Amino acid sequence: MKDKKECPFTEEELQSAAAEVRVTMLGSMPRPSDCEREFSDEFCAKMDGIMKAERRKKRRELLLRSLAAVVCVALLLWLASRLGAA
C-alpha cells in the first residue's frame, strides 16, 4: 500500500528492505563464538552485580504483581460473601 504523499515505497517493500539490511548487518559481523574476549576482572564483577540487581528488580515486580492479584481475589471473595449474606 503506497502512502498518500506519493511515497516511493510500500510497507511490504520497507519490510523486505529492512530484513535485507538486518541480514547484511549481522552477516558483516563475526559470529558470537568467534569474538570471545578476556574481559577485565572489574568488568566481570560489575556485570555480576548488574545481573543480580536486575534479577532482584524483576523478582520484586513479580512478587508485587502476585500480591496485588491475591489481594484482588480476596477482595472479590469478600464482596461476594457480603452480597450473598445480604
Partner 1 sequence: MLLTLHALEDVSDRARYQALYMRYRGLMFHVANGVLGNAHDAEEAVQEAFIEVFQNFDKISEIASPRTRSLVVLITERRAIDMLRAKMRRPTDELSEEPEGVEMPLPEGSLASAIARLPANYREALLLHYADGYSLKEVAELMGLTYDAARKLISRAREKLREILREEGDDL
With DSSP H G I counted as helix, E B as strand and the rest as coil, what are the percentages for the chain, rounded to 5?
75, 0, 25
∠20-24-25 over CA atoms, to 5°?
A: 115
Q: Which of 32, 41, 85, 86 binds partner 1 (CB under 8 A)?
A: 32
Taking the least distance from each CB to partner 1, the nearer of 64 and 81 is: 64
* C-alpha grid cell, residue 32: 558470537
Q: Which of 1, 4, 40, 41 binds partner 1 (CB under 8 A)?
A: 40
Shortest distance, position 52 Cβ to partner 1, whole Å = 9
Taking the least distance from each CB to partner 1, the nearer of 60 and 75 is: 60
Q: Which of 2, 18, 68, 75 binds partner 1 (CB under 8 A)?
A: 18
Phi, psi (deg, nearest 5) at residue 56: -60, -45
